[in-house]
Structure 1
Amino acid sequence: MTTLLDVLDVIEGLWPAHGAEEWDAPGLLSGDPAAGVSRILLAVDAVGVTVDEAVEGDHDLLLVHHPLLMRGVTTVAESTAKGAMLARLIRAGCALVAAHTNADVVATGTSGRIAALLGLSEVEAIAERPDGTGLGRTGSLPAATTLGELARTLATLLPATAGGVRVGGDYDRRVERVALCGGAGDSLLAEDAVRASDVYITSDLRHHPASEALETARVAGGPALIDVSHWASEWLWLDTAAAELRAALPGVDVVVSELRTDPWDFVVVQ
């Protein structure tokens, strides 16, 4: 029998906890390490619909990218959203585990998955660490293209969301060197590897950092910007994670949730 502890050992091998950022809170959130695991559901977020999917699908483990309890809490009362979800999982005997920035920094992590789908070569981390891991990725496209066509390519690779793909830069701008970061990545805008690229692809770009980066690019050089859904950019990684778990845990059924947990439902175009 495969136990939750066995699965945690595999997770540690794939996405070591020491790779997480200091502010992060990955790992086991709830569940008995001695309990058996035969079905695992992967999702980006632990939200009501994915918790329901895990419980109703008789999964023993919900493995998510985003930790449910990122900050300290003072209550898990079922009158709160997080308390209600935890209680539902615990009653159903379904454990909850997160692999967050520790899964971002590895070669096959969230940013690595996007780089592979774009066919990038000469791939390196934007903020490389001594052990060879690091946040974000840079690389070269198989052939130069325009900013607009690259945005259209991303729109076909990513699951559809209300926000779509937003672009800062001229449609016909030539792009070949790409920097990217799955999930929120405006903290990397000033990195040399980003500034040296033709385009930076990430999520959750706020007005002021994005505006400043584009204005700086006009004066001193720098990338165009492509902003995509946070959820969509990280959902792509789930297939890679599932394949790695299946290889390490033969006999365990590993399923990727197809549910969209992007928070936005529709957009009104002006």
Structure 2
Amino acid sequence: MTSTVSDLIAALDAAYPRELAESWDAVGLVCGDPGEEVERVLVCVDPVRDTVDEALELGAGLIVAHHPLLLRGVHGVGADTTKGGLVHRMIRAGVALFCAHTNADSADPGVSDALAHALGLTVQRPLAPHPDGNGRTGLGRIGELPSTEPFGDVVERAARALPGTRPGVLGAG
């Protein structure tokens, strides 16, 4: 079964309502034709050259990115700029880009819940509840470990649970 960009956006909006996004955030469809059919979707953290390359190699019709490509005011998307070049490549290839950032962080369940789960935490409540008042949505999560651990063990737990990065997981405090 083939879906359209619009169908997929409706599903993403249902899971990560845009009203949960912070006022400064840029979420939603960045480029692409809502009526275009999509057979493959690439999900990534950042819409950068490597992820666009991967989407094109896989024949993805939609990239769903966590971090926005165009967060600050944009006055142009010239193909001779880094971000503009990505927009032009995606449009020429018929690849849509959709970003779900702080709305995905705040959703219930959302990115914050997935991170808490990966760390082995039992979620108690959001760190910064959303003003909607339901007590389940909002940025961050306050959670409980299964048992008391030294701080260094918590940092090691995070390093094991999360994908490797440079310089890795660091702890301070």
**With structure 2 as the length reference, what TM-score do the two structures score?**
0.93
Report if aligned partners of 2:125, 2:141 keep a CA contact under 8 Å in 1: yes
Equivalent in 128, 133, 140 of residue 136 of structure 1: 140
> SS state of the match for residue 21, structure 1?
coil
* Structure 2 partner of 1:174: none
Q: How does 1:1-270 map to 2 (within 5 A)?
A: 1-129=2-130, 130-132=133-135, 133-169=137-173
* Structure 2 partner of 1:239: none
Deviation at 1:122, TM superposition (A): 4.9
Deviation at 1:118, TM superposition (A): 2.5
Q: Which amino acid aligns with 1:161?
A: T
* Unaligned 5+ runs, structure 1: 170-270
Report if aligned partners of 2:116, 2:123 keep a CA contact under 8 Å in 1: no
In 2: Cα distance, 1:46 partner to 1:118 partner: 25
In 1: Cα distance, 2:101 partner to 2:123 partner: 25
- Cα deviation code 1:62-110 (max 9, x no counterpart): 1100111111111111110111101110111110000000000012222
In 1: Cα distance, 2:11 partner to 2:78 partner: 32
Deviation at 1:131, TM superposition (A): 2.9
In 2: Cα distance, 1:110 partner to 1:34 partner: 28
Report if aligned partners of 2:106, 2:140 keep a CA contact under 8 Å in 1: yes
* Unaligned 5+ runs, structure 2: none
Q: Which amino acid aligns with 1:60?
A: G
- Cα deviation code 1:226-253 (max 9, x no counterpart): xxxxxxxxxxxxxxxxxxxxxxxxxxxx
Deviation at 1:123, TM superposition (A): 1.8
Q: Which amino acid aligns with 2:55?
A: A
In 2: Cα distance, 1:82 partner to 1:160 partner: 25
Count of aligned pairs between the two proteins: 169
In 1: Cα distance, 2:123 partner to 2:78 partner: 49
Which is strand-richer, 1 or 2? 1
Q: Which amino acid aligns with 1:140?
A: E
Q: Which amino acid aligns with 2:23?
A: E
> What percent of counterpart residues are identical?
44
Q: Which amino acid aligns with 1:36?
A: E
Q: Which consecutive aligned stretches of 4+ in structure 1 deviate over 6 angstroms post-superposition?
A: none
**With structure 1 as the length reference, what TM-score do the two structures score?**
0.61
